[in-house]
């Protein structure tokens, strides 16, 4: 290639470059519209992310509150179970003491009846020997006379 051909080639490349730059990008309005729609979509996704993050934080707070309430309820349940065990033990003790009381009451009643029988027998024994020795006019001393 000669010098003139080289210069012509360079000139042609420069001319085409200037012409391409002067035209602007092909489909610029389509790309601009696409960029706007992507920016809108990105902004919407950011808003959605913020709302989801806020909802997540709120749910975490509710979860923490529910966990503390659960711990409190479990503590109350344990306390109530201990009270129930103590109540049942006390009921058993009351039943045992009531049974003991009833047995002792029965024994006391039997002892009282036995003592009354013994006193009655003793009174009968005292009254029986005195009757034959105290009779003088055919009257017994068991039926006293009133004057």
Residues 123-132 have pLDDT tens digits of 888 876 555 5
Burial per residue of 112-123, b for 16 or more beta-carbon CB atoms within 10 angstroms, e otherwise: eeeeeeeeeeee
Q: What is the pTM of this model?
A: 0.45
Query: What is 19-66 written as a DSSP string?
Result: HHHHH--TTHHHHHHHHHHHHHHHHHHHHHHHHHHHHHHHHHHHHHHH
Q: What per-residue confidence (pLDDT) applies to 4?
A: 81
Angle at 133 between CA 131 and CA 139, to 5 degrees: 60
Domain positions in the chain are: 30-125
């Amino acid at each position: 290639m000669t010098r003139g051909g080289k210069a012509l080639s360079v000139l042609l490349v420069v001319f085409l470059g200037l012409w391409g730059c002067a035209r602007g990008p092909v489909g610029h309005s389509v790309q601009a519209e696409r960029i706007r729609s992507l920016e809108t979509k990105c902004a919407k996704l950011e808003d959605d992310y913020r709302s989801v993050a806020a909802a997540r934080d709120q749910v975490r707070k509710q979860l923490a509150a529910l966990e503390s309430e659960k711990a409190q309820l479990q503590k109350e349940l344990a306390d109530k179970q201990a009270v129930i065990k103590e109540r049942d033990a006390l009921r058993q003790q009351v039943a045992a003491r009531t049974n003991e009381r009833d047995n002792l009451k029965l024994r006391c009643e039997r002892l009282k009846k036995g003592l009354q029988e013994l006193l009655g027998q003793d009174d009968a024994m005292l009254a029986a020997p005195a009757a034959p020795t105290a009779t003088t006019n055919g009257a017994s001393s068991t039926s006293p006379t009133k004057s």
